[in-house]
Amino acid sequence: MRATDIIARKRDGEELSTEEIRWFVAGYTADTIPDYQAAAWLMAVYLRGMSRRETFDLTVAMAESGDQLDLSPVIPYAVDKHSTGGVGDKVTLVVLPLVAAAGVPVAKMSGRGLGFSGGTLDKLESIPGYRVKLSDDEFLRQVREHGIVLGGQTKSLAPADGKFYALRDVTATVSSLPLIASSIMSKKLAAGANAIVLDVKVGAGAFMREVEEARALAQIMVDIGVSAGRQMVALLSDMDQPLGEAVGNALEVREAVETLRGGGPADLREHCLTIAAHMLRLGRQDTASDGLERALDDLGALLASGAGLNKLRELVEAQGGDVRAIDDPNLLPQAHLHEVISAPRGGWVARVDALRVAQATLELGAGREKKEDPIDPAVGVVAHCKVGDRIEAGAPVFTIHANEEGRLVRARAQLDQALDVVDHSIPPRPAFYATIYGNE
Ligand code: URA
């Protein structure tokens, strides 16, 4: 086979065979196909798209391009979750301990934040001492002993995706449904789960701005998972405004701890319980019609009893973190400068723009533009209102947590454009738009 023929066939809108896709992915992973040919191929895929069968073949080829984790010796039936990325999304920090506390072991590999979207690993690393890098043996031992492990993805997992993703980032080929779906699902398949819950975000602070676009992405990923023999559930959730109140690494850990203590913002609590209930139902392989309600009831009880919080403590301790920072979140990194932004007028909140809030936190140094950029764990923004709230003029709407005056000024400029207040009442935004089930 020749790379130029495969590029030309895709350029001309033809459907590639399974063998062609496997050959191309293997060649790129092994460096026998250079970046310039892979870039041309990615652009052809971007412009011409892929059939369901091609997308599935690409996913499997990338999943099989490196190590594949076998969780079966330690978890007979493993359940995983994945969020397509958002603003204030600390759901994993709440959901994993809750599901583990309910008796379903969870072994999850998470990613770092990039651009406006935060990453669970960065949040975890704001807990002093927490180790995200575990060997495969440590990863498996921990889930066997504690029923929970939450670390970084190893380089040997789906290495083809790592290479393609870096190339997509610099060739304007990120926003392609088959490329996004295969990228996400290749890592999920290689990480060894039997069942996967996808949280597909929609809105200003998400990859997908429109519900129908998000639904299409979710459906492709569900189809890929089902074709690979996995149980799948995808939820479409709102990411037009930040999830919860806190955006920024240590601030989000604090909010996750508050939520596991039974407090925390109502939207975050509802979101976490819903995702956790789907995971728990799948993990229990409970196909009864009331399986989801039963899971929700059990999780509510675990939240109330503090069992979820205890599991988070156990996780942090097992991974070398300082549990005192969970018991007293004031021990998490804290910023020196605080500024409250007040509502310019009274009325109803019509918009709390997740992208603007994310850009403000980037200005503060909470995230990174490039993979190697350092981040400041302490800084961020707390949004005190939600769409639909009635507020008075002068009420606090955002608090900025900063470590540098210049950054604070730039963050404030973003936040000045993040809020709309109107004279008429506005309904709250829905938490979820749809739930898509794979064949069960
Ligand atoms: N997340 C991924 O892992 N891959 C993509 O292509 C987009 C989001």
Q: Is residue 183 among the annotated active site residues? A: yes
Q: Taking a C-beta distance cutoff of 8 angstroms, is the pair 206, 171 a contact? A: no
Q: Is residue 187 among the annotated active site residues? A: yes
Rounded to whole angstroms, the Cα distance separating 46 from 324 reads: 48
Q: Is residue 82 among the annotated active site residues? A: yes
Q: Is residue 168 among the annotated active site residues? A: yes
Instruction: Give me the pLDDT at residue 347, please.
Output: 98
Separation of CA 219 and ligand 1 centre (Å): 15
Does ligand 1 have an atom closer than 6 angstroms to the CB of 183? yes
Q: Taking a C-beta distance cutoff of 8 angstroms, is the pair 205, 237 a contact? A: no
Test site for ligand 1: of 120, 174, 217, most ligand atoms within 8 A of the Cβ:
174
pTM of the model: 0.95
Does ligand 1 have an atom closer than 6 angstroms to the CB of 176? no
Which ligand 1 atom is at minimum distance from the Cα of 180? Answer: 6
Does ligand 1 have an atom closer than 6 angstroms to the CB of 180? yes
Give just the sign of the alpha carbon dihedral 177, 431, 117, 347: positive
The continuous run of DSSP H or E covering 8 comes out as helix 3-11
Separation of CA 165 and ligand 1 centre (Å): 7
Pairing of strands 419-422, 380-383: unpaired
Rounded to whole angstroms, the Cα distance separating 371 from 182 reads: 21
Rounded to whole angstroms, the Cα distance separating 166 from 155 reads: 13
Which tokens sit at 121? Answer: 């690993």
Residue nearest to atom 5 of ligand 1 (CA): 180
Which tokens sit at 34? Answer: 């250079």
pLDDT in tens, 197-236: 999 999 999 989 999 999 999 999 999 999 999 999 999 9
Other CB atoms within a 10 A radius of the CB of residue 52 amount to: 14
Taking Cα atoms as reference points, which of 66, 46, 55 lies closest to residue 183?
Answer: 55
Which ligand 1 atom is at minimum distance from the Cα of 111? Answer: 3
Taking Cα atoms as reference points, which of 365, 276, 362, 350 lies closest to residue 312?
Answer: 276
The pLDDT > 70 percentage for the chain reads 99
Instruction: Give me the pLDDT at residue 114, please.
Output: 67
Separation of CA 170 and ligand 1 centre (Å): 14
Which ligand 1 atom is at minimum distance from the Cα of 165? Answer: 6
DSSP string, 111-142: ---BTTB--HHHHHTTSTT------HHHHHHH
Q: What is the pLDDT along the chain (440 residues), one digit of tens a residue?
A: 999 999 999 999 999 999 999 999 999 999 999 999 999 999 999 999 999 999 999 999 999 999 999 999 999 999 999 999 889 999 999 999 999 999 999 999 988 776 777 789 999 999 999 999 999 899 999 999 999 999 998 878 999 998 998 899 889 898 899 999 999 999 999 999 999 999 999 999 998 999 999 999 999 999 999 999 999 999 999 999 999 999 999 999 999 999 999 999 999 999 999 999 999 999 999 989 899 999 999 999 999 999 999 999 999 999 999 999 999 999 999 999 999 999 999 999 999 999 999 999 999 999 877 767 789 999 999 999 999 999 999 999 999 999 999 999 999 999 999 999 999 999 999 999 999 999 76
Question: Which residues, in sequence order, are CB contacts of 17 under 8 Å at separation 6+?
Answer: none
Separation of CA 98 and ligand 1 centre (Å): 26
Scanning the structure block, which residue is given the tokens 């993703």? 165
